Structure 1
Amino acid sequence: MRWIALRAGWATVWPRLLVLLLVLGVVSVPDRWWRALSPPPAPKAVANATKPAPPKSKPLPAQLVIGDADAANFLAQATFGPTWADIDRVQQLGYSGWIDEQASLPLSSQLRFLNAASAATGGDLRREWRMDAWFLHALGGRDPFDPQLVHRDQLRQRVAFALSEILVVSDANSDLLGNAPHGVTDYYDTLARGAFGNFRQLLEDVTLHPAMGIYLSMMQNQKPDPARNIRPDENYAREVLQLFSVGLLRLNPDGTPLLENGRTVPTYNQDTVKGFAHVFTGWTFNGCREFDCYYYDSDAPAWIKPMQNHAAYHASAQAKQLLVYPGVALAGGVLPAGGDGPTDLRAALDNIFQHPNVGPYIGRQLIQRLVTSNPSPAYVGRVAARFNDNGQGVRGDMKAVVKAILLDPEARDPNQRPAHFGKVREPLLRLTHVWRATKARSESGFMDEFWTIGYGMGQAPLSSPSVFNFFSPSYSPIGEPAQLGLAVPEMQLATDYQMPGTEGYFGAKIYEVFVGAPDLSPHEVAIDLTDDMPYATRPADLIQRYNTLFLSGQMSTRMRGVLLHRLNGMPAGNDEERRVRIQEALYIIVNSPEYVVQK
């Protein structure tokens, strides 16, 4: 693999390594060096940096003109990475108008790409093509199989990715799902369809999707039969409560734990899990005459249809203890015996959906995935309120929730952000950002990226090691974050293996795989630096261009000085030297802490 061979070579290039270490803060130099390298900071910048955040958010003022950096910051939260075209569009429409336009765009179906790829290659379906479909839709642009089709629904796809890390399905440790790209791809499309729909419908679509049925063993879950030692499987029942909807502890409307007599209150107990396990019985592949049938043909229609219920295997004879909370519709939270499978399922999902935890629990995680790892309780409360009522009496309106997250004063106004505002960019989002910013593409529409992404960066879409995703939303690494009680979820990926792997992968992609490079495979995704070449002889302008596109205008004076010193010391006498100068700037920026931490 290209990136493995190159990593050792890059490490020996001491000027590049020294600059990177300086930017990373791994090594230090005397202060007088920084004074020589860097212009003094503007007084206004110093004042802003030391100004404490207000104790609570104020209304976001109407903004008549959106600057490039502000638009880029918004797009870093709402897309797979800002582009100049998208920055212009946000400036034309405004934040709210851009969201409305995105929500009105038709779904770009990844399953459609998979079917087209299969037809173009003789009917095969490969797991790699599922990954190709994901990246095609994350990057956007023209479809390789239909030049008239342009994938523009960035916000929908970005929210779908966030949902895929909450409502987790993975093909990583499942032979059946690993060989069923049709079903896994359709599951992702299901999340994309639900991104602007209603959470209640999304919860039902996820519950009845065969990929979820296989992954969390609800598929062919049976009613109790003591004589045969059969008890309903509790896997999906446990995870739909713990991870997909209400969480382990009762919450206040602002997402803080509810306390009774100074103690936290569990959301449910084992009897509740058993009750839901009995609800989720009798379901199997759609179209099966027999209950215990399987479709090993990965393109079978049953993989993209909701599961169907077989009454003979549903636990209709038992009453079922469900969630108990103030205002619960079912007396004592108990679902009476005698219901059929679909009726019991709808009642159980209604019971979950109406729980007061759902708004703050799901809202906080979506904020974490899009904007900041540690939202203030007030921020969570405002989003949860919009989940509870979109302003027209509708509960669970996902478009309203997404809009509330992205337009909240804490997301848009730097003066209302707490000191710990921001989130670590996960490796996949760093990669899509680089590729979108540089108009990267492959000639064929396919990609030679499946194995290198998963193994090189430690992350691939819908391929987490468990239902708990690649990282926990509450993960706090040992040290200052843990001492301050701050969550840094994505740092759970920052292992001794993953960090150099990611650096090496970016090095290979930036320095070796570019439009015009020799010996490129038609399947390699190559960055295109054509638009940046005019800036190669103007390092300060190049830095400012990348500062806007990658750092939303937030590059520190120190980092700017280091980069300028490095680039000015590089030759730029011909096109190759100018290209290398651009690659150097890009590589250092995307591996810097100032970029890796999205603010």
Structure 2
Amino acid sequence: MGQEPTRRTRWRTGTMAGGVAFTVCLFAACAGGMGRRRASGPAAETAPPPSALREQTADQQVQHVLNRLAFGARPHDVDAVRRLGVDAWIARQLQPERLADHATDSLLRQYRTLAFSADRLLAEFPPPAVALAAAARRGDGPMTAVDSQRLRQQARRSVQALGELASSRVARAVLSERQLEEVLVDFWENHFNVFAGKDRTRYFLNDFDHTVRQHAMGDFRALLGAVAKSPAMLYYLDNWQSVADSGRPVMTPIPPPRAARRAQAVRRAVQPRGASPEQMARVEALQRRRRGLNENYARELMELHTLGVDGGYTQQDVVEVARTLTGWTLERGAQGGGFVFRPQAHDAGAKTILGVRFPAGRGQEEGEAVLDLLAYHPRTAEFIARKLAQRFVSDSPPPALVARAAERFRLSRGNIRETVRTIVTSPEFFSADAYRAKVKSPFELVVSTLRALNAAPDVTARTAQLVSRLGQPLFGHQAPNGYPETGEAWMNTGAILNRINFGLTVAGDRVPGVRLARWPLYDSLRTLDRPAQVDGVIRALLGGAVSSDTREVLITGRNPFLAARGGADALTALDDADSTDAPEPMTPAMRPQRRGRVADPAGASTGLAHIVGLALGAPEFQRR
């Protein structure tokens, strides 16, 4: 990452020209329960109406909350929510601390490295370059083939913890009873995006995940401050290296930089022996090297974490915020350790930010005051409210809902739980327009598929790698803006083909944890004729209502979109995809086993597996 990350482009809503109706339904609401489009207008500024007055039917409301506030329904979830009541279920999910989650707690104990600190990870799984340097210091002689093999193994082990963390993210989302909390963890880890592929950032991600989970449904200011001090964010956006520029006043005198001291020692060592010009040039360059102000984190703090791209700040405001955060660093730098404030690196001069003057001579409390200013700013309330409404309601959330959620955010001093409550109990959330209006991200698609088929938890890296191959490697987005929350980013011809094939792959028992024969409805459906099987699958997986195009696909067993493109084997499509941005390479041992082509999974005479696979690739399942 350079001194200034590339500026982001703004995502624009668009539609795909051409294509069969079965595919177009992924982009626009279709008949058969996909919702209806109406002229938009200002929503009434009233309290949410009773459930009976909501636009969605009672059955749609159950499906809606399970697809928006959870990662889809498990086989018995629809009946459970119906018995409890939608509003009571929402209230329970808004208090995750009261929900027992013993199965998830037990599962997490199977991950060896999940609780490891960054220090321990660096010690047990050092980067290959560190291991190579250690071997050189030992003086073991020239590098041999065995040494090279050992270093390759070390490289694989150095990303083991990242693979376990990604796997645990998927497993938690599949299994946890605290579904809304998991949805918000996914939201905030994307909002405060960090990229595992930058240098040693991956060693700090266990701590980052824990930090976000602590505050996901709590106080936004506390979350913002915890992320600002998290080693992952300090390292990823380079603030750990940001110090006062030369000539600026600091809290205490700066001792000679370590590099300069080392250069002086080298000069004393080489000069008496007649150093070469090249050696002396390297020494001079080392002496001149001086770290200074780094604006990366300050810019993203304002643009992506709080005020938004149109938040009314200037480039000078970015510089001033960066100055207040000088000296916010890591205890041992690249070697890890927790957050520490170093006054000797802090710019102690006066500053003005968003029209607010900060007097000279302040230390860490100055940075805390800036976080206060940003967290409680009206533009931040609007920005966060809109992003949350975009996640839970629609890609273009109603302005009246955003205004009410922003007001709740302001009045509650950034209470995330109450802001979310305002959104998910609103008339707009339960409107006909909101039903199935969102395209699932790859993470949501994989998790909802595993939940729908009652899959056994997978503690290997394989299911997380399927998320990567569908286009969303966890902690694998390089830019600070995170993955988009809008649907058009996930929909292109190749992505749609992979999604349809993924559904067939799952139904063919070629994804870890999934065995269709263990699906609770399998025995009751497998002996029926095909129309009855289609009706049963529609009820179980698609909310009981589909378009005529989807029903035709399920009845005939032929997907025109797939057939027009040769019906490529799903795993071939996924495995051959460019995965250079995935956080961990998939080894042969990780790959799901192939059991023949998907066209007739498991050789089922009734074709039930094929119907299930096609249903998982249908627009009604691909949307939430």
Taking structure 2 as the reference length, the TM-score comes to 0.67
Q: Given the superposition, is the C-alpha separation of residues 579 and 278 from structure 1 closer, same or farther in structure 2, using an over 3 Å criterion? A: farther
Q: Does 1:308 align with 2:347?
A: no
Q: Does 1:586 align with 2:612?
A: yes
Q: Is the 8 A contact 1:80 1:139 kept in 2?
A: yes
Q: Is the 8 A contact 2:395 2:487 kept in 1?
A: no
> Structure 1 residue aligned with 2:514, among 493, 512, 526?
526
Match of 1:379 in 2: 401
Q: Does 1:285 align with 2:274?
A: no
The aligned amino acid for 1:563 is L
Deviations 1:76-116 (A, max 9, x none): 01111122433233223333322332233349799997775
Q: CA deviation at 1:203?
A: 0.5
Q: CA deviation at 1:243?
A: 0.6
Q: CA deviation at 1:433?
A: 0.7
Counterpart CA distance in 2 for 1:470 and 1:528 is: 32
Aligned length: 469
Match of 1:7 in 2: none
Q: CA deviation at 1:539?
A: 4.4
> Structure 2 residue aligned with 1:492, among 489, 493, 497?
489
Counterpart CA distance in 1 for 2:368 and 2:59 is: 47
Match of 1:270 in 2: 315
Counterpart CA distance in 1 for 2:535 and 2:394 is: 25
How do 1:139-178 residues align onto structure 2 when only pairs under 5 Å count? 139-140=174-175, 151-171=176-196, 173-178=197-202
Q: CA deviation at 1:137?
A: 0.4
Q: CA deviation at 1:275?
A: 0.7
Match of 2:453 in 1: 438
Moved over 6 A (4+): 107-115, 119-124
> Structure 1 residue aligned with 2:384, among 362, 375, 391?
362
The aligned amino acid for 1:163 is W
Match of 1:322 in 2: 353
Q: Given the superposition, is the C-alpha separation of residues 135 and 49 from structure 1 closer, same or farther in structure 2, using an over 3 Å criterion? A: closer
Q: CA deviation at 1:129?
A: 0.8
The aligned amino acid for 2:241 is Q
How do 1:56-67 residues align onto structure 2 when only pairs under 5 Å count? 56-57=43-44, 59-63=47-51, 67=58
The aligned amino acid for 2:190 is E
Deviations 1:221-277 (A, max 9, x none): 211125966431000000010011111224xxxxxxxxxxxxxxxx11111001110
Q: Given the superposition, is the C-alpha separation of residues 284 and 157 from structure 1 closer, same or farther in structure 2, using an over 3 Å criterion? A: same
The aligned amino acid for 1:500 is L
Q: Is the 8 A contact 1:95 1:407 kept in 2?
A: no
Match of 1:513 in 2: 510
Match of 2:567 in 1: none
> Structure 1 residue aligned with 2:441, among 426, 431, 438?
426
> Structure 2 residue aligned with 1:118, among 93, 112, 121?
112
Counterpart CA distance in 1 for 2:315 and 2:427 is: 40
The aligned amino acid for 2:313 is Y
Q: Does 1:346 align with 2:382?
A: no
How do 1:32-111 residues align onto structure 2 when only pairs under 5 Å count? 56-57=43-44, 59-63=47-51, 67-106=58-97
Q: Does 1:467 align with 2:480?
A: yes
Q: CA deviation at 1:175?
A: 2.7
Q: Given the superposition, is the C-alpha separation of residues 112 and 560 from structure 1 closer, same or farther in structure 2, using an over 3 Å criterion? A: closer
Q: CA deviation at 1:160?
A: 1.0
Q: Given the superposition, is the C-alpha separation of residues 163 and 321 from structure 1 closer, same or farther in structure 2, using an over 3 Å criterion? A: same
Q: RCO greater where, 1 or 2, for CA within 8 Å and sep 6 or more? A: 2
Counterpart CA distance in 2 for 1:186 and 1:248 is: 28
Match of 2:269 in 1: none
Counterpart CA distance in 2 for 1:449 and 1:385 is: 40
The aligned amino acid for 2:520 is D
Matched position secondary structure for 1:321: strand
Match of 1:36 in 2: none
Q: Is the 8 A contact 2:241 2:294 kept in 1?
A: no
Q: Is the 8 A contact 1:83 1:437 kept in 2?
A: yes
Deviations 1:534-554 (A, max 9, x none): 123154554445445544444
Q: Given the superposition, is the C-alpha separation of residues 595 and 278 from structure 1 closer, same or farther in structure 2, using an over 3 Å criterion? A: same
> Structure 1 residue aligned with 2:462, among 424, 448, 453?
448
> Structure 1 residue aligned with 2:243, among 222, 229, 232?
222
Taking structure 1 as the reference length, the TM-score comes to 0.70
Q: CA deviation at 1:153?
A: 1.1
Q: Does 1:130 align with 2:185?
A: no
The aligned amino acid for 1:388 is R
Q: Is the 8 A contact 2:394 2:437 kept in 1?
A: yes
Q: CA deviation at 1:575?
A: 12
Deviations 1:466-521 (A, max 9, x none): 212233x5xxxxxxxxxxxxxxx33224355544344444432322426xxxxxxx
Q: Structure 1 vs Structure 2: percent identity of aligned residues? A: 22
Q: Given the superposition, is the C-alpha separation of residues 579 and 433 from structure 1 closer, same or farther in structure 2, using an over 3 Å criterion? A: farther
Matched position secondary structure for 1:334: strand
Q: CA deviation at 1:139?
A: 0.3
Q: Is the 8 A contact 2:409 2:416 kept in 1?
A: yes
> Structure 1 residue aligned with 2:551, among 550, 557, 560?
560
Deviations 1:299-345 (A, max 9, x none): xxx3xx5x1111111112x112222xxxxxxxx3121111112x012
Q: Given the superposition, is the C-alpha separation of residues 52 and 353 from structure 1 closer, same or farther in structure 2, using an over 3 Å criterion? A: closer
The aligned amino acid for 2:162 is R
> Structure 2 residue aligned with 1:457, among 466, 470, 492?
470
Matched position secondary structure for 1:379: helix
Q: CA deviation at 1:386?
A: 1.5
Matched position secondary structure for 2:521: helix
Deviations 1:521-572 (A, max 9, x none): xxx33244431221231545544454455444441234224423449xxxxx
Match of 1:262 in 2: none
Counterpart CA distance in 1 for 2:495 and 2:110 is: 34
Counterpart CA distance in 2 for 1:152 and 1:54 is: 37
Deviations 1:150-195 (A, max 9, x none): x311110111101122111121x313123x1xx2133123222222
Counterpart CA distance in 2 for 1:282 and 1:189 is: 24
Matched position secondary structure for 2:417: helix
Q: Given the superposition, is the C-alpha separation of residues 231 and 53 from structure 1 closer, same or farther in structure 2, using an over 3 Å criterion? A: closer
Q: Does 1:192 align with 2:213?
A: yes
Q: CA deviation at 1:448?
A: 2.4
The aligned amino acid for 1:56 is A
Counterpart CA distance in 1 for 2:49 and 2:193 is: 37
Match of 2:431 in 1: 413
Counterpart CA distance in 2 for 1:500 and 1:421 is: 20
Counterpart CA distance in 1 for 2:80 and 2:421 is: 17
Q: Given the superposition, is the C-alpha separation of residues 388 and 95 from structure 1 closer, same or farther in structure 2, using an over 3 Å criterion? A: farther
Q: Is the 8 A contact 2:68 2:392 kept in 1?
A: yes
Match of 2:360 in 1: 337
Match of 2:223 in 1: 202
Q: What is the aligned-residue RMSD (CA, Å)?
A: 3.6
Answer with 151-160 or 49-58: which moved more: 49-58
Which protein shows a greater Rg?
2
Matched position secondary structure for 1:117: coil
> Structure 2 residue aligned with 1:240, among 283, 298, 301?
301
